[in-house]
Amino acid sequence: MQRQPWEDPEYIKYTLWFVFACIIYSIIGFTWGALMGGIHEFRHFVDHRMHGNLIVRAHTHINLLGWVEMAIFAAVYYIVPRLVQRPIYSLKLVKWHFWIHNFGLIGMVVFFTTAGVAGGIASEHVSPAEVEAIVKPWLATMGIFGSMVLLANFIWAYNLFRTCSNRDKG
């Protein structure tokens, strides 16, 4: 029996990696949320310390860009080639999408969290202006990683658009 174009083992592997990433990020996000809600000192820190809310943003991004988006990417990568009856436009772009998105998301979470912890601790000892000076470079670095996630989303959209509109392939 002839293999369908979307049954390429490498394509299946990367589609499943999106599923696995979704699972890992969901466990991290759910655990993080439970800890924030269940440990009084942690909850107080994120609610009452200057920039402590950045830790909540890190948690939010793990859930949205990790758990939710990875699930959507996996589902769409699975469904679209079957709908249009041809392979994905570029397996190379699928791979780039996966790695850039994950690297960017992990960077965002690390630097959001670092900024929140540094700002929260510093707010007990220095002026608000000094806290801002401490947090600002961490947030600027986080923005670079956030731009990587945005780039990965554009790669995904371009690859899907080309898959759906390219009549010459497949």
Nearest residue to 98 via CA among 70, 127, 135:
70
pLDDT at residue 170 in the model? 44
User: In b/e form, how buried is each residue of 85-120, taking b as 16+ CB within 10 angstroms?
Assistant: ebbbbbeebbbbbbebbbebbbbbbebbbbbbbbbb
Asked whether 102 and 69 are in contact (CB, 8 A), the reply is: no
Q: What are phi and psi of 119, to 5 degrees?
A: -65, -40
- pLDDT (tens digit per residue) in 14-53: 999 999 999 999 999 999 999 999 999 999 999 888 898 9
pLDDT score for 5: 67
The pLDDT of residue 72 is 98
DSSP assignment of 4-38 equals: PGGG-HHHHHHHHHHHHHHHHHHHHHHHHHHHHHH
In the predicted model, residues of the chain with pLDDT beneath 70 are: 1-2, 5, 166-170
Token duo for residue 95: 């791979």
| DSSP SS3 for 41 | helix
pLDDT score recorded for residue 19: 98
- Residue 50 is predicted with a pLDDT of 87
Contact present, 104 and 146 (Cβ < 8 Å) = yes
Let me know: does 168 contact 97? Beta carbons within 8 Å: no
